Chain A
Amino acid sequence: MFELDLNLILGQMVLGLVNGVFYAILSLGLAIIFGLLGVINFAHGVFFMLGAFAAYLLAQTLGIGYWGALLLAPLMVGALGLVVEVALIRHLYRLDHLYGLLLTLGLALFVEGFVRIVFGPQGLPYEVPPSLRGAINLGFMVLPYYRAWVVAAGIVLCLATWFVIERTPLGAKLRAATDNPQLVQAFGINVPVMLTLTYAAGVALAAVGGVMAAPIMSVDPAMGTSIVIVVFAVVVIGGMGSILGSIVTGLCLGLLEGLAKAVFPQASSTVIFVAMVIVLVLRPRGLFGKMA
């Protein structure tokens, strides 16, 4: 019964890579926010979801299409992130980090409840932009252009984020503040503002992912919560010490999920969690985790 169809496997792995891109984008943002703020942003998934809803709203009310949404939705969600950090999260920095997790969990429930009240629980459709309709025959599969675009754009976005953090003066400030925020502030950098902007940037990144996901997944209030749990597993597997590690882990786990879909479909929803257990048993710090 296990007749392995190579075309099927390759096809599913390419599709898995699409999910991997979303995992990478989200775990990247989580890692950046955690590094500087010490908060695991449970609400990361709802910001992803809000990105998709912002794209939907922009199309419905202002007739702004995909490309405009790709720019505007992250700005809108980022602005919301500013408010959230200033109004809520910054009051918890002196406390145990677990309170940050609880607060953002509450925020996630609140936002999801709010979106459900306004838009209802069912998924809403979002069109693939006209310029990316159609598909290409790769021989082993027919790949919609849009998915190819998501993979390419997602990987470029991740690498650009990596470049900004690891290779620019702005990124150096971010890394320095992650190492020793007090000293960075004593050098004349306004660290509280930096924390706010970092949170906003992290959730804006999630919103970019949300816009990119809108034509693929249906736009629904629960899309964030389900993906954020998988992303937590990704983060546990990769460890949050390294930006490049987050990206690689995200992409690889997407591939793994695709592989499972082709070979043993029943396991496709659990394979990432199984991978997490195996990594925890063999290498408790995670694949790219720094030793404590």
Chain B
Amino acid sequence: MLEIRGLHAWYGDSHVLHGLAMDIPRGRVVSLLGRNGAGKSATMRTIMGLLGKATGEINCNGVNLLKLRPDQIARKGIALCPEDRGIFPSLTVTENLFLPPVVAAGGMDIASIYALFPNIRERGASRGTQLSGGEQQMLAIARILRTGARLLLLDEPTEGLAPVIVQQIARVIREIKELGYTVLLVEQKAHFVESLADIHYLIENGTIVDRLESAEFAASRDRVERLLAV
């Protein structure tokens, strides 16, 4: 679905990605594990076209995404659930849910979304930012399921959430996977992605340092934890 080769990116003057390369195959859940500042969010933002300057190649069905604007990238069926969740404070929950335009056919219908996230229906008329952190995270995921995007970029969806909510999110990601979505899951918690992801990439200082199939992950667990330790 996505092949990234020789990706360099800059945040203003600082060089944050150094020749990053990874593959995100269709229908798989791929995790990207690394410490704070390793370049995880920068990778996400570069895929989405939101980082100022980038060179290299992000190939999506024969098109280099680096040549496109963010809205054109979204129209390729890629959707972002940002680290800060990006709930719009001036919009109600329902308005937040319906804001992202449909970019392709085959998005999840609204009944299934409400079935998956019952709270969103109940709190539809509240302002988006009046929701709890967990509810906001659910909303941020729910609204990109509607659009027909097939590649979902989830940036640390469990950050700062209670364990019971984290389990709910894991369940949601499993369901998404069942439905054939492709997911890039950025995380700092190895135990969270262990059972979810098919492929694990480890990132450090803006470059991929290892790639593990899910079968290899348990054996390498110590090394992963060392990499993630602060």
A adjacent to B, CB under 8 Å = yes
Asked if A188 is at the interface (CB within 8 A of a chain B CB), the reply is yes
In whole Å, how far is A221's beta carbon from the nearest beta carbon of chain B? Answer: 38
- Which residues of A have CB within 8 Å of B95? 169, 172, 175-176
In whole Å, how far is A93's beta carbon from the nearest beta carbon of chain B? Answer: 14
Question: What 0/1 readout, one digit per residue, does chain A (169-196) give for beta carbons within 8 Å of chain B?
Answer: 1001101101110111111111100000
In whole Å, how far is A171's beta carbon from the nearest beta carbon of chain B? Answer: 9
Question: What 0/1 readout, one digit per residue, does chain B (32-51) give for beta carbons within 8 Å of chain A?
Answer: 00000000000000001110
Which residue of chain B has its CB nearest to the CB of A187?
Answer: B100
- Which residues of B have CB within 8 Å of A180? 86, 88
A228 to B97, CA, bound (A): 38
Chain B residues with a Cβ closer than 8 Å to the other chain, count: 26
- Which residues of A have CB within 8 Å of B133? none
Interface size class of A (residues with CB under 8 A): 10 to 19
Judge whether A187 and B50 touch: CB under 8 Å.
no
Judge whether A184 and B99 touch: CB under 8 Å.
yes
- Which residues of A have CB within 8 Å of B73? 186
Judge whether B99 and A182 touch: CB under 8 Å.
no
Known contacts A172-B95, A176-B91; A183 and B71 CB within 8 A of each other? no
A191 to B50, CA, bound (A): 13
Say what secondary structure dominates the interface of chain B.
loop
Question: What 0/1 readout, one digit per residue, does chain B (138-152) give for beta carbons within 8 Å of chain A?
Answer: 000000100100000
- Which residues of A have CB within 8 Å of B88? 175-176, 179-180, 183
A39 to B82, CA, bound (A): 27
- Which residues of A have CB within 8 Å of B82? 183
Say what secondary structure dominates the interface of chain A.
helix
- Which residues of A have CB within 8 Å of B75? 188
Judge whether B90 and A187 touch: CB under 8 Å.
no
Question: What 0/1 readout, one digit per residue, does chain B (64-76) give for beta carbons within 8 Å of chain A?
Answer: 0000011101110
Question: What 0/1 readout, one digit per residue, does chain B (88-121) give for beta carbons within 8 Å of chain A?
Answer: 1111000110111101000000000000000000
A185 to B49, CA, bound (A): 10
A187 to B71, CA, bound (A): 6
Judge whether A176 and B98 touch: CB under 8 Å.
no
Judge whether A176 and B50 touch: CB under 8 Å.
no
A185 to B96, CA, bound (A): 14
A172 to B80, CA, bound (A): 19
Judge whether B103 and A188 touch: CB under 8 Å.
yes
In whole Å, how far is A190's beta carbon from the nearest beta carbon of chain B? Answer: 5
Q: Which B residues form the contact surface with A (CB < 8 A)?
A: 48-50, 69-71, 73-75, 79-80, 82, 86, 88-91, 95-96, 98-101, 103, 144, 147
Q: Which A residues form the contact surface with B (CB < 8 A)?
A: 169, 172-173, 175-176, 178-180, 182-191
Which 8 pairs from chain A and chain B are nearest by CB? A188-B74, A187-B100, A175-B90, A172-B95, A185-B70, A176-B88, A179-B88, A186-B70
